[in-house]
Structure 1
Amino acid sequence: MTPDARIATAAELLDSILDGQPAEQVLTGWARRSRFAGSKDRAAIRDHVFDALRCRRSYALLGGGMTGRGLMFGQLLAQGRAPEEAFTGQGHAPAQLTEDETAALRRDVEAALAEAPAPVAGDMPDWIWPLLTEALGADAARAAALLRQRAPVFLRVNTARGDLETARASLLRDGIETQEHPLSPTALEVTSGARQVARSTAYETGLVELQDAASQALSDALPLRNGMTILDYCAGGGGKTLAMAAHVQARITAHDANPGRLSDLPARAARAGVDVAIARQPKGPFDLVLCDVPCSGSGAWRRSPEGKWALTTDALADLNRTQDEILQKAAALTAQDGVLAYATCSLFRAENEDRIAKFLSETKGWVLDFDRRWLPQMGGDGFYLACLRRG
């Protein structure tokens, strides 16, 4: 496919996504129908689509409308490229520019975005902008700007298998360049060859795992010690379970409300050289209970940009109720002198500090040891951690 044909295809797929179809479903369906498209074509079109979803309000402003064509036109303008060179109508390229689009070529992109309302320039729904500014204050605009960009690819070095230099050398032999990242002593940022990671020797032998640097930093901050009993209550795929297992010699149990999410964990644990258990109905008490609760995912919206456009006030309220319920259930599984760790990948107070305040006001015998935020401007995703202790 030509670069212009990729743009035309991305515009068509974006129309389906804007109509309400999930992006992954649309992209997968197109790939299955389009056997002529090579891996580079699929990767380029995917990048176009997700770039547009991250920046759909600002691209629509620049491109003249919330359509696939408008978003792709706006994307080219925002990236400093010449839309008239792609929108030629020749072959499989997008149709020629309209008069309005030709006039838009003279627009000063920086001035247009500077004059736009903050939620438009920051690519956020109007109702979410106050939540962001309430939580982050002067940091809100910077966080929003970073959420408009592609997320870095991070690896966690499994110190049960080797050190950072060993991992970097192994990855380099497979054409993957990395650099250390200050958020965590186990974090490597992939600077080249990210699409080769899953086929690399380091990955296949358990020396590295894909994990965001801030997620690693959160695991680093947990009060872990050898000999503990630990429950990862909302384990998902088990990334933090494995990270904790690499930190300490402990009895670690993983649980998730959807057991299917943990189906790969035994194989991943074996590859990593660590022992973890899986429990459908965990029985306490545990010295440490980590509940990385379901949330808006706002701290990771650059990875899953559909989330910020799909979130509603009702959905956020439902999440808050679920978060409160999980805190209470996890508290019941925590030992007398144990630690209850509450985590989200959300930036909002409504899912973070407000939940902890509600729990402490309604549940006697608990105190807050500490809480901490990681913001996108630190390099990784946005996370929140609060460690509570039963006294």
Structure 2
Amino acid sequence: MTPAARVQAAIDILDEVIAAARGQGASADRLAAEWFRQRRYVGSKDRRAIRELVWAAIRACGDVPVSGRAAVLALVQDDAALAALFDGSTYGPAPIRAGEPVATGGAMPGWLAAEMAASGLDAAEQGALLGRAPLDLRANTLKIDRESLAARLPVAADATAAPHGLRLPVGTQAETWPEFAQGLFEVQDTGSQIACQALDAQPGESVVDLCAGAGGKTLALAAAMQNTGRLLACDIDRARLQRLAPRAERAGALVETRLLNPGQETAILADWQGQADAVLVDAPCSGTGTWRRNPEARWRLTPAAIARYAQMQAHVLAVAAGLVRPGGRLVFITCSLIDAEGADGLAAFLATHRGFRCEPLDMAVGRPHRGGWRLSPYHDGTDGFFFARLVRL
């Protein structure tokens, strides 16, 4: 492909991404993958260049652009070489016209910036949410320790603040390595690993991962428990929960699973009421802390969506509270940095559940925030998280 044709390809993909963002459709990753699948003639170098331009444009536009062309034109203002590729050549974009729409810049839509500021995140913190994330691994201690894993990997890896974490360069295809197929590691952000560490799951305990999804945090808990005791992974999403079984088999992790029905969670978990030593609630949220991986997600959010997530979190926390034995632990995690779906939810829970108290945390990175702990890309080099540990009295 010519350089100009690459630009037009990026514009075409961006048009699909923008339409999907407005209609709550597929993710940018999925749309780009499908676009390339239908055009197998596009070579690897072209694919890489097109993808880089697509994601650069997504990160550059604060509000949803009117079009893919407007999104790329936002980059043109600081890139004369890119502007020159709007040359009207075959398969390339038409020449730039005076006065045509150009997407607005910024880290995010104005209302989201205001929510972030109200949650204690300044412009530098907000901008860092759109950087490119490195690839973090968690050594699976059921099979190997961090140092031995690092020695076996085909590229150099740096230890992270998580006790079993390793960091690789952006774009590393670690899941293609034999060490991954052998279950020696899982891909997991350091912040996620540290949030799991807050539960302090111990060998022999009875532990519930209430919102397990595909089980990334579940597998970290299994390793911490050394495959002893009892570990139950639950979710309301059948497809996601079914992905846990092959992952657990690869990791050598012993995990029970249970599919939940919305609104009937307590009944389905009747045998666990008041029995769990520890319950992890990786609560549903907007995912503002993971924008480095999914920057177009900020175009999908609305104030109403934030309010819905807060309601969902309150429900899940209430379910979790009933599972914890006296003296047991409950860890509330959200990968959002907006207080409305984090610290505010914690405060509301404590106001209605007097039998629980917050326990102080002192993690390797991060800082205290309103009764819990906060991690952010700018401050800690991890995805953004808020989490808190509570003890049942």
User: Fold-level match, TM-score > 0.5?
Assistant: yes
Following the alignment from structure 1 to structure 2, what is the Cα–Cα distance between the partners of residues 41 and 166? 37
Q: 1:155 to 1:129 in 2, by over 3 A?
A: same
- C-alpha separation in 2, matches of 1:124 and 1:168: 37
Q: Contact 2:212–2:234 (CA<8 Å) still a contact in 1?
A: yes
Deviation of 1:326 after TM superposition, in Å, equals 0.4
Pick closer, same or farther for the CA change 1:43–1:263 going to 2, 3 Å: farther
Deviation at 1:142, TM superposition (A): 1.7
Report the equivalent of 1:150.
132
Match of 1:365 among 352, 355, 358: 355
| Structure 2 Cα separation of the partners of residues 27 and 374 of structure 1 | 30
State the partner residue of 1:233. Answer: 210
In structure 1, what is the equivalent of residue 82 of structure 2?
83
Does 1:340 pair with 2:330? yes
C-alpha spacing 1:217/1:76, structure 2 compared with 1 (3 Å): farther
Partner of 1:242: 219
Q: What CA RMSD, in Å, does the superposition of the two structures yield over aligned residues?
A: 2.3
CA distance in 1, matches of 2:159, 2:76: 33
Task: Choose from 107, 119, 122 the match for 1:135.
Answer: 119
The aligned residue for residue 274 of structure 1 is 253
Q: Secondary structure at the match of 2:62?
A: helix
Higher RCO (C-alpha 8 Å, min separation 6): 2
**What is the CA–CA distance in structure 2 between the aligned matches of 1:273 and 1:8, rounded to whole Å?**
46
Structure 1 range deviating more: 91-100 or 259-268: 91-100
- Match for 1:217: what amino acid? I
Q: In 2, distance between residues paired with 1:204 and 1:3?
A: 37
1:304-319 equivalence runs, <5 A: 304-319=294-309
* 5+ long unaligned stretches in structure 2: 260-267, 361-371
Deviates more, 1:215-224 or 1:287-296: 215-224
1:276-300 deviation digits (Å, cap 9, x = unpaired) = 1112344312100001010010111
**What is residue 169 of structure 2 aligned with on the other side?**
191
Aligned position for 1:213: 190
Q: Share of identical aligned residues, percent?
A: 37
Q: Is the 8 A contact 1:287 1:339 kept in 2?
A: yes
1:258 to 232, 237, 241: 237
Summarize the Cα distance change of 1:199–1:164 in structure 2 as closer, same or farther, 3 Å threshold. Answer: same
Q: 1:268 to 1:25 in 2, by over 3 A?
A: closer
Relative to its length, the structure with more helix (as a share) is 1
CA distance in 2, matches of 1:24, 1:164: 30
1:323 paired residue number:
313
Give me the whole-angstrom Cα distance separating, in 2, the residues matched to 1:263 and 1:97: 49
Would the aligned equivalents of 2:198 and 2:331 in 1 still touch at CA under 8 Å? no
CA contact (8 A) 2:4 2:89 kept: no
Letter in 2 for 1:320: A
Matched, 1:93 2:130: no
**Whole-Å separation in 1 of the counterparts to 2:318 and 2:244:** 26
Q: Any idea what the Cα deviations from partners look like across 1:106-164, whole Å, max 9, x if unmatched?
A: xxxxxxxxxxxxxx65421111112101112xx42122211222222111111222222
2:390 corresponds to 1:388:
yes
Partners of 1:369 and 1:389 within 8 A in 2: yes
Instruction: Give the paired residue count.
Output: 362
